[in-house]
Amino acid sequence: MKLNKITENVYYIDSAVNIGLIVNEANEALLVDTGIDDSVARKVKRLVEENGYKLRGIIITHAHADHCGGAPHLVKTTGAAVYATATEKPVLECPVLEPVYLFGGAYPPDPLHNKFFLAGGVSVDEVIMPGVQNICGCEVEIVDMAGHALGQVGVAAAGVLFCADSVIAPEVIDKHGIPLNADLAGALETFNRLESRQEKFYLPAHGTLAEDIVPVVGANRRRLIDTLEFIKDLLESPKTVEEILAAACSNFKININNMGQYYLMHLTIMAYLSYMVDRKEITAEYNENRQSFKKLLG
């Protein structure tokens, strides 16, 4: 992990997720995400301080543990204020909600109690909304990036847009098979919004610095549409969620072998079904207490 300069006053730290750093003339720093745990947070804090900056604030783009798990340590050791959207705030403050929603709203079993799904809790000091604003003395624009998570935002500053998980690098799309999305309509709007931006640099949390985001968005949109079409064709005959999930995984060469992987894919499949039900492309039917989805004609 090191501090990489992007433009004057904007940096990123490469870890399993890229962490953004925006600084002002007073050498005060604003982080964009924190990495997954205390160990990453300790390295982030050291890099910030070694370079002469004082950490004042942390914007959490969305409440997934790999983005917010380092926040409790950073808040405890620096007193930095935490900023997040109203939608992501409840999960940040009550982190068991992440494995709870994955497990259908029930108390999650042990295999979902690990640092990938269950971060430490952190209080949100201020709820943020999209728009240009001054946070901790840094001029930033909070950009709506709903889709991957319901209340996800990106952060733009000085010609750089931190894109959170709105898009992933084209070269890892095949590895993911079907990228995680909670809200397809939101994701499609976010893709359009990204293509209309005029930043000089774009940094997806899982990807490399790009000067042109259009091909990255194109690859992500293509996989989303391909998945949508695949599921729609599959539902020519009624299928249960379990059958849809298994067929989609097999088609996109995904091999699930643990509960965490299963429930992330389950959430994504539910997002596709939700999108198609709302557009009256498919409907649910009930037979012998079994729910199936099928394509509607016309």
Residues 6+ apart with CB under 8 A from 81: 56, 57, 58, 125, 126, 136
Q: Nearest distance from residue 211's CB to Zn ion, in Å?
A: 24
Strand ordering across the sheet containing 54-59:
3-7, 10-14, 18-23, 28-32, 54-59, 81-84, 126-127
* Residue 88 binding Zn ion, by CB under 5 A: no
x/- string (CB under 5 A) for Zn ion, residues 48-77? ----------------x-------------
Judged by CB under 5 A, the residue of 37, 88, 165, 199 near Zn ion is 165
| CA 66 to chain CA centroid, nearest Å | 9
Residues 6+ apart with CB under 8 A from 16: 35, 36, 40, 66
**Residue pair 71/58 in contact by the 8 Å Cβ criterion:** yes
Nearer to Zn ion, 64 or 73 (CB): 64
Distances (CA, A) of 76 to 36, 85, 130: 16, 21, 27
x/- string (CB under 5 A) for Zn ion, residues 202-241? ----------------------------------------
* Residue 183 binding Zn ion, by CB under 5 A: no
Nearer to Zn ion, 38 or 66 (CB): 66
Candidates 43-51, 97-105, 162-170, 221-229 — which segment interacts with Zn ion by CB under 5 A? 162-170
Nearer to Zn ion, 180 or 277 (CB): 180
In the complex, the residues that contact Zn ion under the rule CB under 5 A are: 64, 165
